[in-house]
Structure 1
């Protein structure tokens, strides 16, 4: 059974943030995610953390993160900022100067990539990556619900990208072990 989050991500992936003109960039990013994820998964386990850092830094350039952040702001009204309450559209001020920094956005997308790998291998991505991340945003960073929603959308985007890029491959036992270690290191870092 597909989770609500997965359905939402698949819908968002169908037309990346409703920006048809960015379709080629999306396809290039998806191809790059696939290639780099394959390289990461082929890495020896002792090199996993270093490989992960290199892969994600290549994928998540400032330009890519800013484009993704702009796209997220365009989809904000489709999200809920409070139970049963849709988010208001991004204000002109939020569009000009997003309330989420490039570094915050990069971290959320990176966590989404890791959640996507965990989901692909059947690991508990919700309990081990997503929920601790959201709890940290709410309780440690004390971010406003609207900003938490923005970061949640960015996480979901990263997760959806990774799930889409890996869907034609099977997660091996060695890959699962490597990803399990990566997921554990993410939990330790937060």
Structure 2
């Protein structure tokens, strides 16, 4: 194949062979499959420990350890954090510019215009440390959430803010925190 340049000289260009995309995709898939199925040596490494694939016994031990994890936070626990740290502004009648109440279980499940539940907004605000607003000049001053309270509230929100599981903690028309 030849092409002419602007100066009139003729260049010879070798025809290029285009590799079909299907072959490229298949090559990548084969490489990834080979990597995923690579044999892990059962011989001891330099440090003396063997690199074995997990056995069923090891998997059983891992699941036993996972079941020993602390129980998921409940609405009652989350409500307690909200009462102590949020309802000063997000009470039955919001104050200090708070846009909504965080008093009842239902308050936390109200959807905004974008379809996000308030508990999702709470999680975002707590995680980014925008809330509680320690910059407000109030008496007594607003204090930051303790790490344990923050972790509890975030865990509860990440689970979808589950309700009462028959533990005696009301989910409807909860009483607002007393001042």
Return the TM-score normalized by structure 2.
0.24
Return the TM-score normalized by structure 1.
0.23
- The higher relative CO (CA closer than 8 Å, separation ≥ 6) is in 1
